Every structure is written in C-alpha cells, then in structure tokens.
Structure 1
Amino acid sequence: MRTLKVLLIMISFLSLSAMAEVQYQIHIKQPEHHLAQVEMQLDVSQPGALTLSLPAWRSGKYQILDLANGVSYFQASMADGQPVPFQKTEKSSWQLQLPAAGTLKVSYQIYANELGGRTRHIDDTHAYINASAYLMFSPKHKDLPLTVQLDVPAQWKSYSGMEHADNEHSFKAANYDVVADSPIETGINQYRSFEVDGRSYGLVVWGEGNYNLDQMQQDLAKLVATTGRIWQGHPFSRYLFIVHAADGARGATEHLNSTVIQKDRFGFAKREDYLGFLSTASHELVHTWNVKAYRPADLVPYDYLQPNYSKLLWISEGSTSYFEDQLLLQAGLMKKEEFYKGLAKLLNRFMHTPGRQVQSVAQSSFDNWIAQGGDHAANYSVNIYSEGFIASWLLDQWMLENSNNKVSYRDLHNQLYQRFGKTTAFTAENVKQIAKDLTGESLDSFWATQVESPLAFEPAALLKSFGLEWQADKEQEVFSGVSGTDQQGFTAVTKVERDSPAWIAGLTSEDLIVAVNGLQLKAGLTERLKDFKAGDKVELSYFRKGRLQQTTLAVRMQPKGPGVIKAVAKPSRQQKAQHKAWLGVEL
C-alpha cells in the first residue's frame, strides 16, 4: 500500500512537472513612446531565494550590451497578491525572497528604442522583440517550456521562427534558449511565404522602401536551394527572413531558424546595393548551420550574463562570410566577375590593415568582446569577418591541394554538421582531426602559422593557384592615410592608417584639419590634395583639443581603386581544375 502511495505521488509530481511552463505576456499599449509592459508567471516549488535575470548580451553579437538598462517598475507577487520582497544584486539580476511555494507573478516595463542593436525597438508601426532584451529568466526554470503572448494594436500582424501557440500573436518554445534565439516581428508589415524542397520559408518586411518584394522572394528561394552544396541535411523545417527597411538601417543577426536584416529603405534598387542585401541574407542563412547547428565548445552553453570567450569565432563569422557569395554564385544570383570584384575589395582592404602584422585570427576571436574602433582597430588588430574569410580561403586551398582537389573546406563544414550538429560543440582539435580524416595530412603546421599567428601569405600566389591574377588600377590618386568626415570648412579625422603619410606627419583621430598651405579647406582634405603630386610636401593646419597646430605631410600616390581580379592569360589544367573544385564554376 505504501509503495502504491509513493508511486501515485511520483506520478502526480511528474504530471505537474510535465504541465509546468513559464508564461510571458508583452503588452504594447504605448508604442509611440517605445514602451512595453512585460508580465512573467512561473510556478515555484519551494520558498526561499530565487534569482531572475535579463541577459547582458544576445547571441550573434559577441559584446556586452547591458540589456537590462531598459527595465523599470519591477514588481513581484504571489498569485494571491502577496508582495514578494526583492533586491537588485547586480546590473542584470534581481533576487526575490519567496514566502511560499506557488505561482509567482512578475511585471516590469521595457523601454525599447534601439533598432540598430537588433535587440528591442517599438514605435507606432511595429515592435521588434529579441527575447534577450525583453524576457527575464530564472536559472532554475530555464529549461522549462514557455509561451509568449503579445497584446498589440488590432491591425498588427506577428511573425517568428517559433511555432504559434493559441493564436496569431502567441508563440511557444521548448525552453529559454529557444525563445532567446527566435525574435518576433510584430506590426504593420508585408509577408510572403514559399516552399523549397519540402521546407517552409517566410519573408516579412517592415518599412517602406525601393525594394521589390516579389523579386526578393524569388531570389531568396533560389538562394536556399543551394545549401546542399555544403551540407547534407537541414537543421530546420521552417525558416523566417525578417527585413527592416528604415532610414540609415544596416546590419543583420542570425538566429536559430530565422534572421533579421536591416537595410536603408532606399538601399535595394541599385544592382550593387541589392547584391549586398542578398549577400547578407546568404551570410545569415549559412549561420543556421555554422553557429546555430554547430559552434565552438566555448559557446556551449551560452552564459547570458558573462562573455563566452573563444579562439574560434573566426570560423563562426569569417567562414560564414567566405561561403556567402559562393552560394550566390551557385544560385545564379551573382556573376563570376562580381564575385571576383568582391575578392579584390577584400584583398585591398587587407593590405590597408596594418593590424594584419600584429594580431592572429585566434587572438582576434578571443578579444572580440573588447574590440575597439578608431585608430586602434585596423592598426593593431584584425577582425573575425574579413581576416577570418582569408584564413578560411587559405584553409580551403590547403585542403584542395592536399587532396588533389577531391575535398574542400565545404566538406570540412559538412563534417562539422554531421558530427556535431544539434548534439554537442566542436573544438580546434576536432577541426584538425576532420581535416586530417579528409586529406590524410596534418593541419598542425597550417594552424600554427595561419591561425595562431598573424596571417602570412602572398595574395598573388594564392590567386595564381586558382588561375587568377590581381591587376592594379592604372589610374592613381593621392593617398594620405586619413579617414574622416568632411564638414563645412574642415575634415574631422576618424582614423589614420599606421605608417601612412598622415601617420608619419603625426595626425590622429579627432584632429580637425582646417587648411592646406594656409588656405582654408572648402571641399574636404581628399579633394584638396588632388591638386598635388607624389613627393609634394604640404603644410596642414589642424585643431587638436582646441589648439591650432601645423604639420607637414608628404604626398604619396596609390591606385585609385581596389583593382581587378581576372583569369590569367593561359591557365594551366591544374589551375582550371582547382578553380572548378573551389567555386564549382569554370575559370
């Protein structure tokens, strides 16, 4: 009899546990003031201390963002209305003292006016909801299923990579990690749906602009059909593209089975601009495998309150950048010449990045959490995107050459997905082992010289192996090394390239250049220097911290543009074969 009672108690407990879920409601009644009221409800099994936290960063952005700075009017009570004492214990956490077991209710206000950060934005036309910036979590309840119910204006429509719960404005997720990686777009928007290879895709666009929604849908359908070139299988059954078309908008973020892409409302019509949009869409789609299905072990699990340091972010971001235009090329959305043009810009930017001699891609990955801008960024460091792209390219070449063009970097990523997708995360040793399994050769030497050390390669030699050459522009222009913004009567310096003429002249960021050879600037420094030739020495007058100073700059010339990458005159059979194995298209 006693055994039966214990069994019944266990069954009852398991039934309650299976039914338990965390419930959120987001009320948007004052969208014009960027405000939302959040209500959270969860069942607690015992009295005592319980901590609730809002993440300090969001996935896809490896920097501390301090998302709790939008929280106010925090309150907590039990279901019967009994207040629950609490105190804030650190910038993102509140500790509650529960008087008893039962249902806990928490409410707080969110101020959401950060569109560019792709975390939280509310206005009278829409709300963008990244749960990391709206929904608190309890570590004890983080693995429980949950629902999110929206209370929004009647004409608004709501979309997410999550499944709907009870109605079009409610969503459900298996746990907090899923909702934190599944943003919601709700508001006045346009929507298209399509299917490719038995999978459902959605495209929701907020904002007016010069885009063609039908063309976007058609091209995205072509793009998603190419992913089999890299991976065997999909980590999703449905996927959502969220697009924000707004003044000055830029950037994008990958999520579990969706992405948000932000672009200036008038940045779609020109061919180059539209290709930029498609490249971004491709980049974020690649992330659905590379980061969301498999990612560095250092990022598993996400620590929402502290940085997750990793030396492999160059694979997460740089390799994703490396694959993005390859997929467009395969989909017929980008011409071969346009692909080469992108390579020329990348290599030209690399040669104007003095930090390439200082920092490795592994170091850049680890330090991404504290990456700086201004003079320091390009002069003493590299970034995980562009230099990670080049490291991926070099590794691709290594694999092709060590396998007689039988396996490539695509095969390595497919193996990462097959071995680690949805089950665990990979390490540097895993990458090395896969490369050895595929080619029969050790990757240790490559890793030491190209990953753990600053990149060391000759662009001409790399291109030549694929039957390409890089031809510099014949037209020359003045090179000062100054990056800045031209204002009425002066140029405000934002960056100075290390070892450039401006660097040698002693200029630095925040200097205000006001005159050349005693004559006031009218059209900006770059335009004024066009009046001089190589070897000329000009006197610059500038303000630094309010004090007028002078220096002498020696004019230097450089090719006007990034140059042109094209096929060599008589490519060899090996060059043709390696090019075909690399991109899947003939040289």
Structure 2
Amino acid sequence: MKKALLGAAMVALSHCALADTQYTLTIDDGTHHLGDVQVQFDKIGQSYIDAKLPAWRTGRYDILNLANGVRYFEALDSEGDTLKWQKVDKSTWRIFLDKPTAVTLNYQVYANQLGLRSRHIDDSHAFIDASGFFMFSEATRNEPVSVQFDVPKQWHSVSGMDNGDNDHHFIANNYDVLVDSPIESGINSHYEFTVDGRDYELVIWGQGNYDAEKMVTDLTTLVKTGDVIWDDYPYQRYVFMVHATSGARGATEHLNSTIIQRHRDKFAKREDYLGFIATAAHEFIHTWNVKAYRPEGLVPYDYLAPNYSRLLWLAEGSTSYLEDHLLLRSELMSKEEFFKDLGKRIDRHLKTPGREVQSAAHTSFDKWINAGGDHGRNFSTNIYSEGSLISMVLDLKLLSDSDGAVSYRDVHRELYKRHRLPEGFNETDVLAILKDISGQDYTQWWQNHVDSPLQVDFDALLATVGLQRTYSEDAKQSPSLDVQGKLDNGLVELTHVRRDGAAWQANLTAGDSIVAINGKRVSSDLATLVEQFAVGEQVEITYFRRDNLRTTTLTLGGEYNEAATIKAVDNPTAAQQALFKVWMGVDLI
C-alpha cells in the first residue's frame, strides 16, 4: 500500500495548483475491492482539523456508516512527518497540529457495496460516490476540489464533473458538488449525444440484453421533455450511468447525472425496458426536484446525521408521479401502459394497511427509521407510492377547480423559480404557491391529505377525467389467507400477514411456517393450494412457531385474482375529455 500511496502523492502534487483540496484514488487490487485514497488539504492554521467521511449518501435516506470501510489511516504534515490523530466519533478523525501546515491523509477503502450505490471496486470497474471514499473538512468544504484516478490503463472514467488535464482527472467548485457527482471508471461502453445545445453521455458497465442504440434514441427523446414542467434546464451537461448486473437494482439521482442499476437480462422485454426508461425519467426529473430545489431540512446537507423533512413525499413521490407525464407526452409509454401502471399503484395502496395509520408527512419525517417488511406494510406508508398518489389527487383537484387552467406542474414550476438552491422550501412555502396560482387556501386540504392518513374515493377522483377502475372478464374473487410467504421444503414461511386479514384474525404472524391445510401437506404455493376452497370457508391451519407444532382455525378472506385496471368510461363527456387532455397531454379516446 505504501508504494501505491507514494505514487499517488506524486500524481496529486502535479495538480496542487488546480484546487485547494486534492483527492487521489489508486486502484491496483480491484479483485479484492480495495482502493487507496490520498487527501491533501491546503495549509491549516488551527490546532486541529476534523476529517469526516459521510455517514450516508444523497438520494438514500438511511444511515449507512460509510466509515466502516476505512483502514490504514495516517496523517502527515507538509514535511512528511506523522501527525497525531484520534477518532472522536464513528465518522470523524481529528488530526492535531503543532503549527500551521498542509495536511495529507492516506487510507485504504474497502469498496464492495454495489447495491447501495455508494462504493464498488472490482477487476473491471469502480463506481465512486464520493461519500463512500473521500473525507472532507468543514473548514474546506466550500473550497474547490480536484480528483485524480490512478487506474488500469484500459479503463475509461466518466463523471458529470468537468474534466481536468487528463481523462482520469475531475474538478469541482466544492465538496458538495463532488459528493453529488459520481464517477464510473472501468471497462465500459460510452455514447455521446447533443440535444438542444446540451451535451449528454450514456456509459454502460456490464454485459446484458440491452440495445444501447435504442437507449440513446429514447433518452434523446426523454431529455427534450423538461419544458413540459419547467422553463429551463439546470445543467449544460448530463451523464446517464447504467450498471447491467446480476443482482444490484435501483437508481439514484445526482446533480449532473444518474446511476441506474438493473439485472443484465431485464432490458429486452417491453415490460422490462419500460421499467428502465421510467427509471431514467424519474431520475431525470430529480435534476430539478431535489437537485435544483429541495425541502429546507435537506439544505445544506448534513452528511453525518439524519436530515429530517416532512416533505420527502413531495421530493420522491411527486417525482414518481411526474415521470408518467414525461413518458406519455413523449410517446415513450403508451396510454394503455399508463393505465395499467396507475391501476397497480392504486391497488397496491388499497392493499397496504399502513395507509390507515401513517400520514405522508409522518412517513417523510420517519424515513430514516421506518422499517419495511411485515410491520412496515401494516403500520407505515411509503414516500414514493403514497407521495405519487397525493400528487395525483392534488393535481386533479387543481385542474378541476380551475377548469384546467392550473395544474400540479405549475407548483413545481414555481418551486423552481422561487426556491432554487441554496435556499430550501417548507410546507408554508408550498401552501403559499398553491394559494398564489389557484386563488384558494389549501390549508385544510393539506391537513386532510398530507398531515393525515390519505383517504381517497378513487372512483370519484378518476371520473373527473373520464376514467374508471374495473376488472377484466376473467377476474374473480378468490379465497385468500391474506398473507405472503415462501415455500421451502414443504413449509411456507410467512413473510407478511396483512393486518386485520384472515390469517391475522386467526393469530398467525410473520415467521410462522405453515405445514398443512385441513391436514393436507403444503406442496405448492398458498394461492394454488387454497383455490379448492371458497371465500368465507373455514379451514384448519397446521403450522410451526418456534419449532412447536400448532393448529388454528381460519376463515378464508377473498380478493380479486388480478389488480383492477383503468380505462375510459363509456361515452366520456366533452368536459371529461378536455380535462384529461390538459392533465396528461394526450387524448382520452
């Protein structure tokens, strides 16, 4: 490691004139997910400096304790002599100074968190989110930074940051830009295109069943749609990064780029590809909503502690809602696909008992601690799905109340105009915008729909734009245990028991393992097994709990075997058709 760091120091020194803080990452043991980091701070005049590594990364509201990958830490003064240091908390290294001096930090990072999109190194690439690699000091946080990579010769490095004097050198105005500008370095495919005078890049790491040319074509179409909502673009250059992997899934928005991860075989089928392009639309919208304007609880970022806000539903859920507007208007999604997706969102909401317990504002504030799984579904909501539906409810109310003159897009247009960073916005600001654009006070509406658990008459809501929820001719009420589980060796381990459902009423709980129904051993999935019974019929459940065999009597519930679909009502009125056209930008029929 020492040899690598000495070489890195020579590289970094050649860039000292370019920035006040220089970072160098050397990768010569990618197989074991290791990288050597050097940080050079300009002359420090105080008695100590605190070097910090973020405890979380932007776009994921969870404490990740990223300092857990740091080893072999050392601090040197401008003459190369060792400086004393100690850790003062889990993410902070305090370096003591006897006299004013420049400070150099050397340490190793273990980078094997691909799915967290924080840090990953292997023998083919490195994905660098600065929060997982590069320490910072509050004293120098706002000063320019420079990042140099010493990587295998065949690797190619790409970032939304500006390049320095070589292909593996990047510069940024400050640490906040660096931490929001990930770098993809490695063996990858690289494409460039220009739209309306703005430069775009697509970089793909990994082999898969994707069609890169189609991706470029559709992304070219997508990025033209920003003016559907906003008056201008907050960037001149933007990078789409794609990981085609075997396991990692998800995506994260950044200041000038996005990282999208999908299974390598989940691109070719239309449903899979629609998932990709919808994710790209979601992250593209985030370039405005969150990266250009965001709730004041997230301004500025506190990288070591939770950043609380009651408006995460607006930051994330509204983004989920608005993605369909861009996809539908650009014809990247068909109207039928939109209807199918909307039907699934509503169905999922109605089958989540937590919607009756936790409001969107509450779940936003508690995002840092809200757990998923069985308890989460029964007693919590989700900022994405719940926020998306609230956004739709608000949009249709604005449209209905104004005869189509005002929409939710106007709210986001005004947030972009009035609350561009570094200023954040709060609930009072959003209510002020609603009153300004509509002429009405939305305080009570906010109390009923945001501060309280969401209750919506979806049939009445959809009717305003000529839509209805309905079931296909093949749909039927099927008997149900109101559970989810996984079959393994003749046992079905329950992973979710719906609150107040059939199994819940029979005192079954997640973790129980069903072995038989009416004395017949479980040999297939539960849905197939209970088809022989009728809704409302009583059955005997034999199950294990803590390795003890038990029985209980259960009255089967009932639910449709498919989600309700959305379609146009028969003979929609002219008013319904007109409002739908203003709402989604396409004709209803």
TM range (shorter): over 0.9
**Residues 86-144 of structure 1: per-residue CA shift (max 9 Å, x gap):** 00111100111012212211011100111110001111111110000000001101011
Unaligned runs of 5+ in 1: 1-16
Give, in whole Å, the separation in 2 of the partners of 1:523 and 1:35. 44
Q: Does the residue aligned with 2:383 lie in a helix, a strand or coil?
A: coil
Match of 1:5 in 2: none
Q: Name the CA distance, whole Å, in 1 between partners of 2:480 and 2:270.
A: 29
Instruction: Give the alignment of 1:502-581 within 5 angstroms.
Output: 502-581=503-582
1:390 — aligned with what? 389
- Show the counterpart of 1:14: none
Letter in 1 for 2:173: A
Whole-Å separation in 1 of the counterparts to 2:422 and 2:572 = 44
1:343, 1:117 → 2: CA distance? Answer: 28
Counterpart AA for 1:549:
R
Amino acid at match of 2:198: R
Shift in Å, 1:306: 0.7
Q: Which amino acid counterpart does residue 482 of structure 2 have in structure 1?
A: G
Deviation at 1:146, TM superposition (A): 0.6
In structure 1, the residue matched to 2:224 is: 225
**What is the deviation of 1:519?**
2.3
Amino acid at match of 2:444: S
Distance (whole Å) between structure 2 residues aligned to residue 388 and residue 158 of structure 1: 36
Identify the residue that residue 10 of structure 1 maps to in structure 2.
Answer: none
The range that moved more, 387-396 or 571-580, is: 571-580
Deviations 1:150-203 (A, max 9, x none): 111111100011111121111111100000000000111101111111101110
Rounded to whole Å, the distance in 2 between the matches of 1:18 and 1:264 is 43
Does the CA contact (< 8 Å) of 1:165 and 1:171 recur in 2?
Answer: yes
Contact 2:119 2:133 in 1 (8 A): yes
Give the whole-Å Cα distance in 2 for the aligned partners of 1:120 and 1:445. 44
Secondary structure of the residue that 2:332 maps to in structure 1?
Answer: coil
Matches of residues 419-438 of structure 1 in structure 2 within 5 Å?
A: 419-438=418-437
Match of 1:489 in 2: 490
Deviation per residue, 1:311-360 (Å, 9 max, x gap): 00010001000001211111111100110101100010011011111111
| Cα distance in 2 for residues equivalent to 1:371 and 1:116 | 19
Secondary structure, aligned partner of 1:455: coil
How far apart are residue 423 of structure 1 and its match? 4.2
Question: Tell me, what secondary structure is at the counterpart of 1:298?
Answer: helix
Q: Is the 8 A contact 1:476 1:558 kept in 2?
A: yes
**Partners of 1:352 and 1:145 in 2: how far apart?**
50
Equivalent position of 1:455 in the other structure: 454
Residues 1:261 and 2:260 aligned together: yes
- Higher mean alpha-carbon deviation, 428-437 vs 343-352, is at 428-437
Structure 2 match to 1:401: 400
- The answer for the alignment partner of 2:237 in structure 1 is 238
Q: How does 1:330-341 map to 2 (within 5 A)?
A: 330-341=329-340
Q: CA deviation at 1:418?
A: 1.2
**Hey, what does 1:11 align to over in structure 2?**
none
User: Is 1:169–2:168 an aligned residue pair?
Assistant: yes
State the one-letter code of the partner of 1:554. Answer: T
Verify the 8 A CA contact 2:289 2:319 in the aligned structure 1: yes
Deviations 1:435-474 (A, max 9, x none): 1111111111111111111112101011101100000243
In structure 1, the residue matched to 2:468 is: 469
Do 2:299 and 2:422's aligned partners in 1 also have CA atoms closer than 8 Å? no
Aligned-partner Cα distance in 1 for 2:45–2:438: 57
Amino acid at match of 1:582: W
Identify the range of structure 1 (382-391 vs 507-516) with the bigger mean alpha-carbon deviation.
507-516
Counterpart position of 1:3:
none
The alignment partner of 1:226 has SS state of helix
Q: 1:12 maps to what in 2?
A: none
Contact 2:19 2:146 in 1 (8 A): no
Tell me how far apart the structure 2 counterparts of residues 345 and 502 of structure 1 sit (CA, whole Å): 24
* Stretch deviating more after TM superposition (292-301 or 571-580): 571-580
Tell me what 1:9 maps to: none
**1:247: Cα distance to partner?**
0.7
Give me the whole-angstrom Cα distance separating, in 2, the residues matched to 1:82 and 1:421.
Answer: 45
Are 1:486 and 1:523, in contact at CA under 8 Å, matched by a contact in 2? yes
The 1-side partners of 2:216 and 2:550 are apart by: 56
Moved more, 291-300 or 419-428: 419-428
Q: What does residue 305 of structure 1 align with? A: 304
Question: Aligned partners of 2:128 and 2:544: how far apart in 1?
Answer: 44
C-alpha RMSD over aligned residues: 1.3
1:480 to 1:330, Cα distance in 2 relative to 1, 3 A: same
Partner of 2:361: 362
User: Would the aligned equivalents of 1:487 and 1:524 in 2 still touch at CA under 8 Å?
Assistant: no
Work out the CA distance in 2 between the residues paired with 1:71 and 1:18: 28
Q: Does 1:276 align with 2:272?
A: no
Contact 1:249/1:265 (<8 A) preserved: no
Describe the SS at the equivalent of 2:309.
coil
The answer for the alignment partner of 1:38 in structure 2 is: 37
Greater CA drift, 376-385 or 471-480: 471-480
Shift of 1:226: 0.9
Q: Which amino acid aligns with 2:513?
A: L
Q: Deviations over 1:401-424 (max 9, x none)?
A: 222211100011011111122341
Preserved contact between residue 379 and residue 498 of structure 1 (Cα < 8 Å):
yes
What secondary structure sits across from 1:566 in the alignment?
strand
Give the alignment's TM-score, normalised by structure 2. 0.95
Q: Which residue type is aligned with residue 404 of structure 1?
A: D
Q: Bigger shift: 337-346 or 497-506?
A: 497-506
Structure 1 window deviating more from structure 2 (540-549 vs 314-323): it is 540-549
TM-score, structure 1 length as denominator? 0.96
Q: CA deviation at 1:527?
A: 2.1
Any conservation in 1 of the 2:478–2:535 contact (CA below 8 Å)? no
Distance 1:349 1:20 in 2: 50
Alignment check: 8 A CA contact 2:300 2:422 kept: no
CA contact (8 A) 1:189 1:207 kept: yes
More deviation in 534-543 or 70-79?
A: 534-543
Residue aligning to 2:379: 380
Could you tell me which amino acid in structure 1 is paired with residue 383 of structure 2?
I
> In the aligned structure 2, how far is the partner of 1:346 from the partner of 1:575?
22
1:196 corresponds to which residue?
A: 195
- What residue in structure 1 maps to residue 288 of structure 2? 289
The corresponding residue for 1:414 is 413
Counterpart Cα distance in 2 of 1:500 and 1:133:
43
**CA offset digits 1:514-562 (Å, max 9, x no partner):** 2222222112322211222212222222222222221222222211111
- Match of 2:499, as an amino acid? R
Residue 6 of structure 2 is matched in structure 1 by none
Matched-pair contact (CA < 8 Å) for 1:20–1:43:
no
- The AA in structure 2 aligned to 1:243 is V
Distance across 2 between alignment mates of 1:167 and 1:485: 52
Q: Quote the residue 2:143 is aligned against.
A: 144
The residue matched to 1:385 in structure 2 has which SS?
Answer: helix
Cα distance between partner residues in 2 of 1:429 and 1:111: 44
| Equivalent residue, structure 1, for 2:324 | 325
How far the C-alpha of 1:234 sits from its partner, in A, is 0.6
Distance in 1, Cα, partners of 2:165 & 2:544? 63
CA distance in 2 between partners of 1:520 and 1:401 (Å):
55
Decide whether the 8 Å contact of 1:374 with 1:509 is kept in 2. no
Q: Which 5+ residue runs of structure 2 have no aligned equivalent? A: 1-15
Q: The residue matched to 2:533 in structure 1 has which SS? A: coil
Q: 1:7 aligns to what? A: none
Q: Distance in 2 between matches of 1:275 and 1:249?
A: 18
Residue 20 of structure 1: CA displacement? 5.3
- The question of 1:216 aligning with 2:215 is answered yes
Instruction: Judge conservation of contact 2:44–2:103 (CA < 8 Å) in 1.
Output: no
8 Å CA contact 1:513–1:525 kept in 2: the answer is no
Identity fraction in percent? 50
Number of residues of Structure 1 aligned to a counterpart in Structure 2: 571
Bigger mean CA offset, 272-281 vs 569-578: 569-578
Q: What is residue 89 of structure 2 aligned with on the other side?
A: 90
